[in-house]
Amino acid sequence: MKIFLTGAAGFVGYHVAEQLLRQGHEVIGFDSLNDYYSVQLKRDRLARLAPKPGFVFRQGDLSQRDDVGAILAEHPDITHIVHLAAQAGVRYSLADPCAYITANMTGHVVLLEAARHLSGLRHIVYASSSSVYGLNETMPFRESDAVDRPGSFYAVTKRAGELTAHAYAHLYGLRQTGLRFFTAYGPWGRPDMAYYKFARAISAGKPLTLYAGEGLARDFTYIDDIVSGVVAALVNEPEKGVSRVLNLGSDSPTAVSRLVALLEQELGCKAVIEAKRRPLSDVEATWSSHEEMTALTGWRPVVGLEEGVSRFVSWFRAYEPQANEVESVSDSDCSAG
């Protein structure tokens, strides 16, 4: 396969690129390297991909037709697309909703407009989100559930992406699979995600915010399971003109307080917790049913939260120098001083 991978410098994109290259595929990486979070972290991910045989990277803006058209013209023999580029972050969509229109909606249309002219294109897999389930209360979330009550503007743009994919499948015969990711976490992760923020706060002895409520839970899904799901979906192509959506989650919702406890255990110090009211943009809980994904591909998650957090903290200690300071603290409470 020759794969055009958008968001190649991102968390999921980097790991997917590694796996595809490991399997011997060609990967044409594309990313804007925006500054929503550390550009250096994105560059560090790319630096690990750069020497691998079969990898090519181009920087560009997905919402710009010329940028996308140029790279696809350079590689007209692309057979598959993995579209992971997006403006991420539920809460940031309150601050700058227009950024989500540009990246998640305009960018998606520009990509599909260019993609429909690739004569050898077989399948597009793109990132959707568990956020599309919005204010749904029936658990677990299933693909057959109505998704017309979004809880954030981020969710609006992700649902728009699914509808856009459906239209392009119908109009132009594009085979497409949207994957609704459920709280991906792990090494080389995003610093704006709760688990990463918690780890930074705990290791520095600074307060972390934990939203009040016994029901606050997430279906945490380890990055290796996300990657194996992306690859499994990619090679299981739907019929021409079919657009489908599938959940990609662990089917194991865990209290966020449990995540904090595991981070405390792995980092060797106590969290300083400040309880606050949950923002309206944040849903109380997520829970994925992955029955359809398993039936279609045989995929199942294999990494539990305890093991996943341990792996993340091992990487975190190596990548974030201040994280190693906790090892020199004799007391279990790192907030002293």
Which sign does the torsion angle of CA 59, 21, 74, 84 carry?
A: negative
The one-character DSSP state at 285 is: B
Catalytic residue among 37, 126, 154, 222: 154
Pairing of strands 123-129, 80-83: parallel
Please name the residue that has the structure tokens 């992760």: 189
Is 100 a known active-site residue?
no
Distance CA 68, CA 70 (A): 5
Reading the block at residue 26, the tokens are 């060609």
Tell me phi and psi for residue 329, to 5 degrees.
Answer: -90, 120
Checking 51-56 for CB contacts under 8 A at 24+ apart, the result is: 52/18, 52/21, 53/21, 54/21, 54/24, 54/25, 54/26, 54/27, 55/17, 55/21, 55/26, 55/27, 55/29, 56/26, 56/27, 56/28, 56/29
Give me the DSSP letters along 28-74: EEEE---SSS-HHHHHHHHHHHTTSTTEEEEE--TT-HHHHHHHHHH
CA distance 221 to 127: 14
- DSSP structure string for 74-136: H-TT--EEEE------TTHHHH-HHHHIIIIIIHHHHHHHHHTT-TT--EEEEEEEGGGGTT-
Catalytic residue numbers, as ranges: 154
